[in-house]
Amino acid sequence: MSFSHLGLSDKVLAAVAATGYTNPTPIQDQAIPQVLARRDVLGIAQTGTGKTAAFVLPMLTLLEKGRARARMPRTLILEPTRELAAQVKEQFDKYGAGQKLNVALLIGGVSFGDQDSKLTRGVDVLIATPGRLLDHTERGGLLLTGVELLVIDEADRMLDMGFIPDIERICKLVPFTRQTLFFTATMPPEISRITETFLHNPVKIEVSKPATTAVTVTQSQVSAGREAHEKREILRRLLRDAKDLNNAIIFCNRKREVAILHKSLQKHGFSVGALHGDMDQPARMAALDQFRKGEIPLLVASDVAARGLDIPAVSHVFNFDVPHHPDDYVHRIGRTGRAGRSGTAISIVTPLDTKSMAAIEKLIGQSIPRTEGDFAVHTEVSAGGEAPREPRKRESSRGGRNKGRREREPRHGEREPRHGEREARNGEREPRQASGGRNSTPKPQAPASRVPSIGRPEPRRISRDVESEPADHSHLPAFLLRPVRARV
């Protein structure tokens, strides 16, 4: 089976042959004829099955006739992330090299002026993320009334990122008579509602069950403790002991964890890059380009790299953090084992991830085997390569702030202890009582002859030296120093 029977133009067939592809994938074989027939298509296929070429190739054939007008694109492709949008543009540049088509990219991180100038010249294919597209339409620099074909790619990822309200707004801006192509890997209820609303009698193409993993990926899980430094050491052991590891993507749940793990691996001598949503666009594209070219074998990333990125030669995927949503696991491990190649996916599982792993196994319909081996952490190492510090013990009231003082300073008006009395106080301390609290100081047992009776406090004894000195009342308020007049 070849591409020749699908109805593609000669220019497109020549471009496909130049890239070395001979046989279409199942999603391409079923979707391309329906797109060329101007039918709405609902395509459901797991990641790595060639969904991008399933709409790029027929679009190139349809766009050979006609011409774009200023600020009115002929076709519109919506992508959830900047990386996916840039990747689709690369596909158009590769397969449409022999055609004079204007392809524009509307994504964040690029100045509005450059994008607006491209729209002014006229665009045949507009590839955009929802947020930046709506920014241009609200400024009045873009009209969607001339869109003939609308493509919504990675719709389930749109749902996860909260783009569904934006998608609904965009669908109302394009003509009602447009052709719509809808591609997704999973079918949540919200996605089903959108397809029923905006697709007209679509042809449903399902080449694999939703939320299934590729058979070419070997999956396993490794147990770890709750501490982050234990997980980092286990990951380093897995990277050093992995067989046939050419390159690998390491996924984390949070952007902050991506930065910490990236710094830790660099300190331990690994050549690694980072990719997450808080990075600016040039840095994100540079890291992804270095990873594709093989300049860095490891890439620590958030879920921004889990959907649709076409890097065929990824040999391993490591889930440093088990994803909270089971669907994300399917997309993460789909970065390896692509185009018929074999791949390996390893998840580091802590006791807190038990429920998440159970949900993943229920979703994919299979159990993930545990890797047997000695992965216990014997030496605790922190992210910076140093052993964690012991917790500082709190000192008692006698050894902390007053450490070095042998006795309490006498308060104002209190007599100095006599010679011999000081030694008695210091040498005859009794053990601390449990009822007195941590900071309580027990008092020595008074002799029986000096124990005062109940209700009668012992009279205070004042030394002669203190009595002879004039009393200092400067600390008292003035009204207490007024003379008291006795009533007769």
Hey, what domains does the chain have and what are their CATH numbers?
3-206 (3.40.50.300), 217-364 (3.40.50.300)
Q: How far apart are CA 211 and CA 187, in angstroms?
A: 9
Q: What is the pLDDT of residue 262?
A: 95
For 151-181, write each residue's pLDDT tens digit: 999 888 898 888 999 999 999 999 999 999 9
Q: What is the pLDDT of residue 62?
A: 95
Structure-block tokens of residue 65: 């006739």
pTM above threshold 0.85: no
φ, ψ for residue 454, nearest 5 deg? -65, 130
For 339-378, write each residue's pLDDT tens digit: 678 899 999 999 999 999 999 999 888 999 998 655 544 4
Contact between residue 81 and residue 304 where contact means Cβ atoms under 8 Å apart: yes
Query: Bridge partners of 343?
Result: 217
Q: List the Cα angle 329/333/339 in 5-degree steps.
A: 140
Whole-number percent of the chain with pLDDT over 90: 49
Contact between residue 342 and residue 218 where contact means Cβ atoms under 8 Å apart: yes
Q: Which long-range contacts (CB under 8 A, 24 or more apart) does 288-296 make?
A: 288/83, 291/247, 294/247, 296/271, 296/272
Q: What is the pLDDT of residue 328?
A: 87
Q: How far apart are CA 210 and CA 92, in angstroms?
A: 27
Q: What is the pLDDT of residue 374?
A: 52
Q: What is the pLDDT of residue 304?
A: 81
Q: Give the chain's residues under pLDDT 70.
A: 1, 47-48, 208-212, 308, 339, 372-475, 488
Sign of the dihedral defined by the CA atoms of residues 200, 201, 207, 210, in that order: positive
Q: How far apart are CA 188 and CA 186, in angstroms?
A: 6
Please report, for residues 72, 88, 91, 106, 116, the alpha-carbon distance to residue 121 in angstroms, rounded to integers and kept in the order given.
Answer: 10, 21, 22, 14, 9
Structure-block tokens of residue 202: 């679509």
Secondary structure (3-state) at 94 = helix
